[in-house]
Amino acid sequence: MVTTYSSTMEITPSISSSTTTPKQEDNSAAIFGYALIFILSLIGNTLVILASWKRRYFCPNSNTVIINIAISDLIITASIPFYAYNSLTRSFPFGLFACKIVYASRNFAIYYASYLLVIISIIRYVTLFHVEMIPLKKKMVNTGMLMAGIAAFAMTFPQLILFTTTAPTTPNEQINCGEIWPANSIVSRRAYGAVVFIVFFALPLMIISVLYLTISTHMCSLKYDTRSNTPIESEEQVNAPPTYAIRAVVSMLLVCFTFFLCYLPPYLVVLLLDFKVISDSDPTVSAFLNFTSWIGYVHSFVNSIIYGLLDRDLRHELRVMFKHRCYQIFKCCSRRHCWGSKQRRVIAVAPVENYQLR
């Protein structure tokens, strides 16, 4: 089996001459896994967008970044059916345009979301330690998001050119999609992969970890009033951090942990393949490649949990939305039921009224 792997966060199956077919039970498990992540990520990120949009006037900068993170995760989620079909069947019958757009837009969303996580960590750090900068924060956030988008597009543009489909050369081959580098560009490909790893994984992880660990240490070291659970400076009435502080610390540490756990395996495997440390011809390595790709997609669903279910304000907004929607459905059903009953009563009484009028 000959497979070309792209120097991106995700591993993209490409030109393959393999005649073997994975076992049916393996396919079933993989299909179930991809379908589960697709459905959960689609629902979760859509709810986060709706709830954050309704609360965009409260903490507008944070909610704007969260909305953009959820949109990026939806773009990543939209590529799951294409990637699953490509990896399971070793074919890509959707054409050259889809080959370029699907994978390039997915990788753009991955790179962009990485620095959106950095921006939201900076927002929280500035809010806690530099209150005087809050009036300038909106301009800084917009500038940061623009720079993140430009950097992500600049790094994705070569992939947009290199992604291509290849016609089968033997009866056993099928049309496939992948990032094909020229034969004499092994140094360029390795350099490109190393830059992607440093710029879109190592650097964001370092910034997020330092900022969130600083915030968590500060929140845990504060002294709280036993009656109001608010930070105080005196030594009297000292209490342990309240529930909201502990929840915030856990949420921030969870962001760092999931970013590291979900993004490190795909990035690391791509680097090892680029530097010929491992070979994709090994069945064990091939199975691990598919697993790391699935782990990378899991992060798009985990983000919706961290910024949706673990956020008290967004949870409250989701409850209000569901209650309002359920009330509207109940009210609509009640009106239809009453209208139908009234119509039946009118039809039943109509002959008597007509008889009396005569």
What CATH number is associated with residue 173?
1.20.1070.10
**Residue 179, SS3?**
strand
Supply the pLDDT for residue 312: 73
CB atoms under 10 Å from CB of 164, counted, come to 15
Which amino acid does the sequence have at 356? Q
Q: Could you tell me the residue range of the domain that residue 161 belongs to? A: 24-181+282-340
Q: Is residue 270 part of a domain?
A: no
Q: Is residue 256 part of a domain?
A: no
Q: Is residue 118 part of a domain?
A: yes
**Residue 23, SS3?**
coil
Instruction: Find residue 232's DSSP bridge partners.
Output: 223
User: Which has the closest alpha carbon to 152: 198, 194, 103, 200?
Assistant: 200
Q: Is residue 214 part of a domain?
A: no
User: What CA–CA distances, in Å, run from 112 to 138, 166, 242, 354?
Assistant: 19, 29, 34, 72
What's the CA gap between 190 and 271, in Å, rounded? Answer: 8
CB-based contacts of 348, cutoff 8 Å, min separation 6: none
CB-based contacts of 336, cutoff 8 Å, min separation 6: none
Q: What is the pLDDT along the chain (358 residues), one digit of tens a residue?
A: 334 444 455 555 444 434 344 444 458 888 999 999 999 999 999 988 988 888 777 777 888 899 999 999 999 999 999 999 988 888 888 889 999 999 999 999 999 999 999 999 998 888 888 776 666 678 888 899 999 999 999 999 999 999 988 877 676 677 888 888 888 888 888 999 999 999 999 999 999 999 999 988 888 777 655 554 555 544 444 455 566 677 778 888 899 999 999 999 999 998 888 888 887 777 788 788 888 989 999 999 998 888 877 777 777 777 777 776 676 776 677 665 544 544 444 444 444 444 343 3
Q: Is residue 193 part of a domain?
A: no
What's the CA gap between 10 and 260, in Å, rounded? Answer: 14
Q: Is residue 195 part of a domain?
A: no
What's the CA gap between 323 and 329, in Å, rounded? Answer: 10
Q: Is residue 103 part of a domain?
A: yes
User: Which has the closest alpha carbon to 270: 344, 137, 159?
Assistant: 159
Instruction: Find residue 98's DSSP bridge partners.
Output: none
Three-state secondary structure string covering 41-75: HHHHHHHHHHHHHHCCCCCHHHHHHHHHHHHHHHH
Number of domains within the chain: 1
Assess contact for 9 and 200: CB atoms under 8 A: yes
Q: Is residue 272 part of a domain?
A: no
Alpha helix stretches (DSSP H) within 93-235: 96-129, 137-162, 186-197, 203-221
